[in-house]
Protein backbone atom coordinates (compact mmCIF):
# COMPACT_ATOMS: atom_id res chain seq x y z
CA UNK A 1 0.00 0.00 0.00
CA UNK A 2 1.39 3.35 -1.00
CA UNK A 3 0.32 6.38 1.05
CA UNK A 4 -0.43 9.71 -0.64
CA UNK A 5 2.38 11.40 1.26
CA UNK A 6 5.03 8.84 0.28
CA UNK A 7 8.01 9.59 -1.92
CA UNK A 8 6.93 7.40 -4.83
CA UNK A 9 10.03 6.59 -6.83
CA UNK A 10 11.98 4.81 -7.95
CA UNK A 11 9.78 1.75 -8.41
CA UNK A 12 11.30 -1.58 -7.46
CA UNK A 13 8.72 -3.55 -9.42
CA UNK A 14 5.30 -3.10 -10.89
CA UNK A 15 2.60 -1.06 -9.17
CA UNK A 16 -1.09 -1.12 -10.07
CA UNK A 17 -2.99 1.95 -8.93
CA UNK A 18 -6.59 1.05 -8.08
CA UNK A 19 -7.38 3.57 -5.38
CA UNK A 20 -10.78 4.66 -6.72
CA UNK A 21 -11.86 8.16 -7.68
CA UNK A 22 -11.13 11.65 -6.37
CA UNK A 23 -14.56 12.90 -5.32
CA UNK A 24 -13.63 13.23 -1.65
CA UNK A 25 -10.67 15.47 -2.48
CA UNK A 26 -12.37 18.86 -2.21
CA UNK A 27 -9.88 20.77 -4.34
CA UNK A 28 -9.80 18.19 -7.14
CA UNK A 29 -13.60 18.08 -7.07
CA UNK A 30 -13.99 21.79 -7.61
CA UNK A 31 -11.04 22.08 -10.01
CA UNK A 32 -11.97 19.29 -12.38
CA UNK A 33 -15.64 18.31 -12.35
CA UNK A 34 -17.97 19.86 -14.90
CA UNK A 35 -20.95 20.33 -12.60
CA UNK A 36 -22.02 20.65 -8.97
CA UNK A 37 -21.20 17.53 -6.95
CA UNK A 38 -22.84 17.76 -3.55
CA UNK A 39 -24.15 14.22 -3.04
CA UNK A 40 -21.26 11.78 -2.61
CA UNK A 41 -22.63 8.24 -2.58
CA UNK A 42 -19.37 6.31 -2.86
CA UNK A 43 -16.61 5.05 -0.61
CA UNK A 44 -14.88 7.53 1.72
CA UNK A 45 -11.45 6.34 0.53
CA UNK A 46 -11.91 8.04 -2.85
CA UNK A 47 -9.50 10.92 -2.11
CA UNK A 48 -7.54 10.95 -5.33
CA UNK A 49 -4.42 9.37 -3.79
CA UNK A 50 -3.69 7.40 -6.94
CA UNK A 51 -4.05 10.57 -9.00
CA UNK A 52 -1.49 12.34 -6.82
CA UNK A 53 0.92 9.43 -7.08
CA UNK A 54 0.68 9.31 -10.86
CA UNK A 55 0.76 13.10 -11.29
CA UNK A 56 3.94 13.33 -9.25
CA UNK A 57 5.54 10.90 -11.71
CA UNK A 58 4.44 12.89 -14.76
CA UNK A 59 1.34 10.88 -15.67
CA UNK A 60 -1.13 12.15 -18.25
CA UNK A 61 -4.73 12.62 -17.10
CA UNK A 62 -7.93 12.02 -19.02
CA UNK A 63 -11.73 12.40 -18.77
CA UNK A 64 -11.26 14.55 -15.65
CA UNK A 65 -14.49 16.50 -15.92
CA UNK A 66 -16.64 13.36 -15.86
CA UNK A 67 -18.25 11.22 -13.19
CA UNK A 68 -20.88 8.56 -12.74
CA UNK A 69 -23.42 11.29 -12.07
CA UNK A 70 -26.42 10.57 -9.88
CA UNK A 71 -29.37 12.40 -8.33
CA UNK A 72 -28.80 11.94 -4.58
CA UNK A 73 -30.68 12.43 -1.34
CA UNK A 74 -29.45 12.72 2.20
CA UNK A 75 -31.16 10.83 4.99
CA UNK A 76 -30.44 12.95 8.08
CA UNK A 77 -27.73 11.37 10.19
CA UNK A 78 -26.52 8.96 7.47
CA UNK A 79 -22.75 8.70 7.52
CA UNK A 80 -19.94 6.40 6.45
CA UNK A 81 -16.70 6.26 8.45
CA UNK A 82 -17.68 9.56 10.06
CA UNK A 83 -18.35 11.36 6.76
CA UNK A 84 -21.71 12.33 5.25
CA UNK A 85 -23.20 9.56 3.11
CA UNK A 86 -25.66 10.28 0.33
CA UNK A 87 -28.00 7.76 -1.26
CA UNK A 88 -28.47 7.74 -4.96
CA UNK A 89 -32.04 7.96 -6.13
CA UNK A 90 -32.85 5.05 -8.36
CA UNK A 91 -36.12 3.08 -8.37
CA UNK A 92 -37.85 5.97 -6.58
CA UNK A 93 -37.68 7.95 -9.85
CA UNK A 94 -38.90 5.10 -12.02
CA UNK A 95 -41.92 3.65 -10.20
CA UNK A 96 -45.39 4.91 -11.19
CA UNK A 97 -46.59 7.84 -9.09
CA UNK A 98 -43.49 10.01 -8.67
CA UNK A 99 -42.06 12.91 -10.65
CA UNK A 100 -39.09 15.23 -10.36
CA UNK A 101 -39.43 19.01 -10.72
CA UNK A 102 -36.95 21.88 -10.86
CA UNK A 103 -37.02 25.12 -8.87
CA UNK A 104 -39.65 26.49 -11.26
CA UNK A 105 -41.98 23.59 -10.53
CA UNK A 106 -41.49 21.96 -13.94
CA UNK A 107 -40.50 18.47 -14.94
CA UNK A 108 -37.30 18.47 -16.98
CA UNK A 109 -36.58 14.89 -18.07
CA UNK A 110 -37.71 11.30 -18.23
CA UNK A 111 -37.22 10.55 -14.54
CA UNK A 112 -36.87 6.80 -15.18
CA UNK A 113 -33.72 7.30 -17.29
CA UNK A 114 -30.35 5.97 -16.16
CA UNK A 115 -28.84 7.63 -13.10
CA UNK A 116 -25.85 9.11 -14.86
CA UNK A 117 -27.81 10.94 -17.55
CA UNK A 118 -30.52 12.12 -15.13
CA UNK A 119 -27.76 13.19 -12.72
CA UNK A 120 -26.11 15.17 -15.52
CA UNK A 121 -29.42 16.98 -16.16
CA UNK A 122 -29.10 18.46 -12.66
CA UNK A 123 -26.19 20.59 -13.92
CA UNK A 124 -28.50 23.02 -15.72
CA UNK A 125 -27.36 26.63 -15.20
CA UNK A 126 -29.66 29.66 -15.21
CA UNK A 127 -27.58 32.69 -16.35
CA UNK A 128 -30.27 35.16 -15.25
CA UNK A 129 -30.30 33.97 -11.68
CA UNK A 130 -26.61 32.87 -11.78
CA UNK A 131 -27.59 29.56 -10.19
CA UNK A 132 -27.86 25.88 -10.92
CA UNK A 133 -31.63 25.81 -11.22
CA UNK A 134 -31.93 22.03 -10.79
CA UNK A 135 -29.72 21.72 -7.75
CA UNK A 136 -31.63 21.21 -5.59
CA UNK A 137 -34.53 19.67 -7.38
CA UNK A 138 -37.51 17.81 -5.88
CA UNK A 139 -38.86 14.26 -5.97
CA UNK A 140 -42.66 14.46 -5.55
CA UNK A 141 -45.10 11.63 -4.84
CA UNK A 142 -48.41 10.97 -3.15
CA UNK A 143 -49.75 8.86 -0.30
CA UNK A 144 -50.56 5.89 -2.53
CA UNK A 145 -46.96 5.86 -3.73
CA UNK A 146 -45.70 5.96 -0.13
CA UNK A 147 -47.82 2.89 0.70
CA UNK A 148 -46.56 1.01 -2.35
CA UNK A 149 -42.84 1.69 -2.67
CA UNK A 150 -39.69 2.09 -0.64
CA UNK A 151 -38.26 5.59 -0.62
CA UNK A 152 -34.66 6.05 0.52
CA UNK A 153 -34.42 4.28 3.88
CA UNK A 154 -38.20 3.99 4.36
CA UNK A 155 -39.89 0.70 3.48
CA UNK A 156 -43.28 0.58 1.71
CA UNK A 157 -46.09 1.39 4.13
CA UNK A 158 -43.83 2.61 6.93
CA UNK A 159 -44.86 5.96 8.39
CA UNK A 160 -43.46 8.99 6.57
CA UNK A 161 -40.50 10.35 8.55
CA UNK A 162 -40.64 13.90 9.88
CA UNK A 163 -37.87 15.09 7.52
CA UNK A 164 -40.07 14.50 4.45
CA UNK A 165 -41.83 17.68 3.33
CA UNK A 166 -45.55 17.20 2.98
CA UNK A 167 -48.83 19.05 2.42
CA UNK A 168 -52.47 18.17 1.89
CA UNK A 169 -52.58 19.89 -1.51
CA UNK A 170 -50.19 20.48 -4.41
CA UNK A 171 -50.16 24.25 -3.97
CA UNK A 172 -49.55 23.76 -0.26
CA UNK A 173 -46.56 21.58 -1.13
CA UNK A 174 -45.32 24.22 -3.58
CA UNK A 175 -45.39 26.79 -0.78
CA UNK A 176 -43.35 24.42 1.42
CA UNK A 177 -40.73 24.07 -1.33
CA UNK A 178 -40.68 27.69 -2.46
CA UNK A 179 -41.65 26.83 -6.05
CA UNK A 180 -44.40 28.69 -7.96
CA UNK A 181 -47.71 27.00 -6.95
CA UNK A 182 -49.47 27.54 -10.29
CA UNK A 183 -46.56 25.97 -12.17
CA UNK A 184 -46.48 22.92 -9.91
CA UNK A 185 -50.27 22.52 -10.22
CA UNK A 186 -49.94 22.62 -14.01
CA UNK A 187 -47.08 20.12 -13.98
CA UNK A 188 -48.91 17.59 -11.82
CA UNK A 189 -52.18 18.02 -13.69
CA UNK A 190 -50.50 17.44 -17.08
CA UNK A 191 -48.56 14.45 -15.77
CA UNK A 192 -51.74 12.97 -14.28
CA UNK A 193 -53.61 13.35 -17.58
CA UNK A 194 -50.74 11.67 -19.40
CA UNK A 195 -50.54 8.89 -16.80
CA UNK A 196 -54.27 8.15 -17.22
CA UNK A 197 -53.69 7.84 -20.98
CA UNK A 198 -50.48 5.80 -20.49
CA UNK A 199 -48.31 8.18 -22.52
CA UNK A 200 -45.79 10.70 -21.22
CA UNK A 201 -46.29 13.35 -23.90
CA UNK A 202 -43.44 15.49 -22.55
CA UNK A 203 -40.51 13.10 -22.08
CA UNK A 204 -41.64 9.64 -23.18
CA UNK A 205 -41.17 8.08 -19.75
CA UNK A 206 -41.98 4.38 -19.92
CA UNK A 207 -41.39 4.06 -23.64
CA UNK A 208 -38.06 2.20 -23.41
CA UNK A 209 -37.27 -1.32 -22.22
CA UNK A 210 -34.93 0.23 -19.63
CA UNK A 211 -37.72 2.40 -18.17
CA UNK A 212 -40.05 -0.57 -17.90
CA UNK A 213 -37.35 -2.77 -16.37
CA UNK A 214 -36.67 -0.30 -13.54
CA UNK A 215 -40.40 0.42 -13.10
CA UNK A 216 -43.11 -1.78 -11.61
CA UNK A 217 -44.29 -4.39 -14.06
CA UNK A 218 -47.12 -5.47 -11.75
CA UNK A 219 -48.92 -2.17 -12.56
CA UNK A 220 -51.11 -1.42 -15.56
CA UNK A 221 -48.30 0.94 -16.62
CA UNK A 222 -44.86 0.12 -15.14
CA UNK A 223 -43.64 3.70 -15.21
CA UNK A 224 -46.59 6.12 -15.12
CA UNK A 225 -49.13 6.70 -12.37
CA UNK A 226 -51.17 9.75 -11.35
CA UNK A 227 -50.46 11.64 -8.11
CA UNK A 228 -53.95 11.97 -6.65
CA UNK A 229 -54.05 10.91 -3.02
CA UNK A 230 -53.06 13.44 -0.35
CA UNK A 231 -50.91 14.05 1.49
CA UNK A 232 -48.31 14.87 -1.12
CA UNK A 233 -44.63 14.48 -0.27
CA UNK A 234 -41.38 16.02 -1.50
CA UNK A 235 -37.74 15.08 -0.96
CA UNK A 236 -34.83 17.34 -1.76
CA UNK A 237 -32.60 15.90 -4.49
CA UNK A 238 -29.06 17.16 -5.02
CA UNK A 239 -26.60 16.83 -7.87
CA UNK A 240 -24.22 14.05 -6.96
CA UNK A 241 -22.25 11.07 -8.13
CA UNK A 242 -21.35 7.45 -7.42
CA UNK A 243 -17.72 8.03 -8.25
CA UNK A 244 -15.50 10.07 -10.52
CA UNK A 245 -14.60 8.82 -13.95
CA UNK A 246 -11.40 10.61 -14.83
CA UNK A 247 -7.88 9.81 -13.80
CA UNK A 248 -4.58 8.44 -15.00
CA UNK A 249 -4.56 7.96 -18.73
CA UNK A 250 -3.72 4.39 -19.72
CA UNK A 251 -3.14 2.42 -22.91
CA UNK A 252 -4.63 -0.94 -23.96
CA UNK A 253 -2.17 -2.72 -21.61
CA UNK A 254 -3.35 -0.52 -18.68
CA UNK A 255 0.08 1.17 -18.61
CA UNK A 256 -0.02 4.73 -17.29
CA UNK A 257 0.92 7.20 -20.02
CA UNK A 258 3.30 10.10 -19.57
CA UNK A 259 2.02 13.61 -20.08
CA UNK A 260 4.95 14.23 -22.46
CA UNK A 261 4.56 10.98 -24.41
CA UNK A 262 5.34 7.31 -23.86
CA UNK A 263 4.44 5.42 -20.70
CA UNK A 264 5.74 5.16 -17.15
CA UNK A 265 7.55 1.85 -16.85
CA UNK A 266 6.10 -0.42 -14.17
CA UNK A 267 3.05 1.74 -13.43
CA UNK A 268 -0.49 0.53 -14.25
CA UNK A 269 -3.95 1.79 -13.34
CA UNK A 270 -7.52 0.50 -13.38
CA UNK A 271 -10.98 1.42 -12.13
CA UNK A 272 -12.04 4.90 -11.10
CA UNK A 273 -8.38 5.87 -10.57
CA UNK A 274 -7.93 5.71 -14.34
CA UNK A 275 -9.49 7.66 -17.21
CA UNK A 276 -12.62 5.72 -18.09
CA UNK A 277 -12.92 4.32 -21.61
CA UNK A 278 -16.61 5.33 -21.91
CA UNK A 279 -16.01 9.09 -21.82
CA UNK A 280 -19.21 10.80 -20.76
CA UNK A 281 -21.47 7.81 -21.45
CA UNK A 282 -23.16 5.38 -19.09
CA UNK A 283 -23.34 2.11 -21.03
CA UNK A 284 -25.78 0.24 -18.76
CA UNK A 285 -25.89 -1.98 -15.68
CA UNK A 286 -22.39 -3.10 -14.66
CA UNK A 287 -20.91 -0.41 -16.88
CA UNK A 288 -18.97 0.97 -13.92
CA UNK A 289 -17.55 -2.18 -12.37
CA UNK A 290 -17.19 -3.91 -15.74
CA UNK A 291 -14.32 -1.83 -17.16
CA UNK A 292 -12.69 -1.73 -13.70
CA UNK A 293 -12.60 -5.53 -13.66
CA UNK A 294 -11.52 -5.85 -17.28
CA UNK A 295 -8.67 -3.35 -17.02
CA UNK A 296 -7.79 -4.63 -13.55
CA UNK A 297 -7.14 -8.04 -15.07
CA UNK A 298 -5.22 -6.55 -17.98
CA UNK A 299 -3.14 -4.46 -15.53
CA UNK A 300 -2.37 -7.57 -13.48
CA UNK A 301 -1.29 -9.53 -16.54
CA UNK A 302 0.80 -6.63 -17.85
CA UNK A 303 2.40 -6.09 -14.45
CA UNK A 304 3.25 -9.79 -14.09
CA UNK A 305 4.90 -9.71 -17.51
CA UNK A 306 6.39 -6.22 -16.85
CA UNK A 307 5.14 -5.17 -20.28
Question: What residues make contact with ligand FAD under the rule CB under 6 A?
Answer: 1, 3-4, 18-20, 41-43, 45-46, 49, 88, 242-243, 271-273, 286, 288-290, 292
Whichever of 108 and 115 has its CB closer to ligand FAD, that residue is 115
Please state, in angstroms and rounded to a whole number, the distance separating the CA atoms of residues 146 and 225. 13
* 32: CB partners within 8 A, 6+ apart: 22, 64, 65, 244, 246
Whichever of 28 and 88 has its CB closer to ligand FAD, that residue is 88
CB of 105 to ligand FAD, least distance (A): 29
Whichever of 88 and 149 has its CB closer to ligand FAD, that residue is 88
CB of 110 to ligand FAD, least distance (A): 20
Count other C-beta atoms under 10 Å from residue 237's C-beta: 27
Q: Which residues pair with 241 in a beta bridge?
A: 40, 69
CB of 248 to ligand FAD, least distance (A): 11
Give the nearest residue (CB) to ligand FAD. Answer: 45
Whichever of 153 and 169 has its CB closer to ligand FAD, that residue is 153
Please state, in angstroms and rounded to a whole number, the distance separating the CA atoms of residues 198 and 201. 9
Whichever of 26 and 289 has its CB closer to ligand FAD, that residue is 289
CB of 286 to ligand FAD, least distance (A): 4
Dmax (CA) for the chain in angstroms is 68
CB of 109 to ligand FAD, least distance (A): 21
Amino acid sequence: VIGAETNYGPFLGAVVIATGGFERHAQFRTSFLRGPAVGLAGAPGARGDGLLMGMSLGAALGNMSEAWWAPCIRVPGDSIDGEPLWRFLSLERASPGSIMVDQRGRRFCNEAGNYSDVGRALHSFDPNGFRFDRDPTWLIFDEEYRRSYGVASVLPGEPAPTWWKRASSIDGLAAELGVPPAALERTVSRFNDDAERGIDSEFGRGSSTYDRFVGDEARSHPSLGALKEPPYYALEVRAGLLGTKGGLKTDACARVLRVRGGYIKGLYAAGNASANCFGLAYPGAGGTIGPALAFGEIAGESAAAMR
